[in-house]
Amino acid sequence: MTSYRNFLLGSAVVLLAASGAQAADLPVKAKAVEYVKICSLYGAGFWYIPGTDTCMKIGGYLRVDTTFNGGAHGAPAWSGDIGQQNRYADYFVARSRMALTVDTRTATEYGVVRTFAQGDFQFTTLGGSSRNPNLLNTNLGNNTQLLDSVGGGYVAVEYLFIQFAGFTFGKSSSAYSTPWNGFPGNINSNLLGGNNTDTGVNNVQYTADFGNGVSGSIGLDDPTVWNRTSLSNLSTGLNAVGTTGNAYGGTHAPDIVGRIRVDQAWGLFQISAAAHLVNASYNTLTASTAAPTNLSEISGHPEDKWGGSVMAALQIKNLPTGPGDDIKVDVSYAKGNTKNVIATSGSSPNFAMFGDSGVGYQSVGFGATTDGVYRPGAGGTDGIKLTEAYGVRGAFNHNWDPYWSSSLFGSYSAVRYNGAVGDLSTAKGAFCATYSASNPGLKSADFSCNPDFNVSQLGVITRWTPVKNLTFSAEVQWFHLDQKFTGTSVLSVSAPKPATVYEFKDQDTVLLQVRAQRNF
């Protein structure tokens, strides 16, 4: 047995020695390890894509919002079921979102070539602020909220652009906009009073740097999705809250925009201007929906009209109240370009709010947001009457200490239909004649029609940042609708409201929005 064990051990030694000699004879080349290198050219977080001279940064945030007595992302209860405060209205709305950003930059002989993209993976309360199953079953092909089903959600695209030699191509913030867009100090996406393109608009723009913090930009914006409100063909009638189908024609020209900006240590000053084409589809359209008929093309159309807007913006830094404190404010005026005053992160709202009344069943206040109105007649049309709007908004931002901060913000906006009630050749006269004809219910002796309206907002937010890049926020916002109708009228408003007597009256609402956000 001992001899047998010795034989096995000796054989193993011989085999190992032989294999070692064979391995030593083979040429062995270690594979080079390619380490990711830090790129310090463009700030923290960039790294070189292996094998290239392109630097990349992946970032974003994860955010959870809940709004009480409002719509998603802090929209006041200014329309729909929450505006009616009926049984279909959600008392709260939640949204969870992860924004993912990819930023690449390459140094070239022409300067830096940059690409940037942001996609938002999000899940929101189904139906937004309404759980009306009848409402959810409509508009099936154009309602992203229907994707917020169990295990669902959707991806929203904010920015997709290329920058090269001073040019920007793609979906980005307009050259017209301020750096803060519609967020001077708020977290809600619905602070009216000025321009907002924070989720991007398809555009081409060029920026020239003149030195000493002075720059100028010009651009062409695609108005199709972003820069239009509504154009009303009054021959289709007006419903009880003053709206009708949108009679805009196809997009015939881009918005022409530009700005001059001064950016210094003390703050920022900017002047912006925009030109916007208002063009109608046809004189003859289907009642209430403004859909075309077989008579539309031969009925003609009003002449196109150019409108536009201007904005002045100011930021003041280095305030004596504390380090990092600042004031941001912008003032806007528009004619035929109302989206640059009544602007949100989405479409411009029409307002329809209901409340208590000691006279009628309830009170109602409404405001129709339009770029213009026109009134076809036997001779063709009176032409497009452009709507005017103006607004101001701003915020004071204060840091209590490295962990706590607060902002006081507000806005005031006004929409005006020019002319006199009795003059059918003016916007106001044509609107009121159509409204009375479309809503012939019995009116009180003190009834008067005036589609002009004002909206005001005032809010405060406090933020707590216990650790870097993690912030908890709570924002309270008051919204006021100042409408100009007087008296009472029998109105057939949207169901489930009854057709009965309503008092025209100003309306108010308050909301609370809370947020937890982790940046990365």
Q: Which structure tokens are listed for 100? A: 């993912």
Answer yes or no: is pLDDT of 14 > 50. no
Which residues in 442-480 are b (16+ Cβ under 10 Å) and which e?
Answer: ebbeeeebebbbbbbbebbbebebeeeeebebebebebb
Return the H-helix or E-strand segment holding 519: strand 507-519
- CA–CA distance, 399 with 267 (Å, rounded to integer): 17
Distance CA 170, CA 395 (A): 30
Q: How confident is the model at residue 32, as a pLDDT?
A: 57
- H helices of 336-441, where? 427-438
Q: How confident is the model at residue 22 (pLDDT cuts 50, 70, 90)?
A: very low
Strands 267-278 and 380-381, by their bridges, are unpaired
The amino acid at residue 64 is: V
Which residues sit opposite 106 in a β-bridge? 54, 113
Instruction: Give the residue-averaged pLDDT of 51-58.
Output: 96
* The pLDDT of residue 381 is above 60: no
Q: Lowest-confidence range among 81-95, 117-131, 438-452?
A: 117-131
Which parts of 235-316 fold into alpha helices (H)? 296-299
Task: Please write the tens of the pLDDT for every residue from 462-497.
Answer: 999 999 999 999 999 999 999 999 999 999 999 999
Domain ranges of the chain: 224-520
Q: For residue 274, which of 195, 188, 352 has the smallest C-alpha distance? A: 195
Q: What is the mean pLDDT of residues 282-309?
A: 96
- Tokens for 290? 């403004």
Nearest to 199 by CA among 173, 167, 233: 173
Contact at 8 Å (CB) between 217 and 258? yes
pLDDT attached to residue 145 = 67
197, amino acid identity: T
Residue pair 363/505 in contact (Cβ under 8 Å)? The answer is yes
Per-residue pLDDT reduced to its tens digit, 71-80: 998 999 999 9
Q: How many helices (H) and strands (E) does the chain have?
A: 5, 28
Is residue 301's pLDDT more than 90?
Answer: yes
Per-residue pLDDT band at 15 (split at 50, 70, 90): very low
pLDDT of residue 379: 46
Secondary structure string (H, E, C) spanning 119-133? EEEEEECCCCCECCH
The yes-or-no verdict on residue 384 having pLDDT over 90 is yes
Given pLDDT bands bounded at 50, 70 and 90, which one contains residue 225?
confident
- 318 by DSSP, 3-state: which? coil
Cα 73 to chain centroid distance, Å, stands at 10
| pTM confidence score | 0.90
Contact predicate 105/42, CB 8 Å: yes
Cα–Cα dist 407/347, whole Å: 25
pLDDT for 19 equals: 45
pLDDT tens digits along 192-217: 999 999 999 999 999 999 999 999 99
User: Mean pLDDT throughout 242-257?
Assistant: 97
| Spatial separation of the C-alpha atoms in residues 374 and 235, rounded to whole Å | 8
Give the model's pLDDT for residue 33: 57
Q: How confident is the model at residue 7 (pLDDT cuts 50, 70, 90)?
A: very low
pLDDT tens-digit readout, 303-360: 999 999 999 999 999 999 999 999 999 999 999 999 999 999 999 999 999 999 999 8
Six-digit token pair at 417? 């239909």
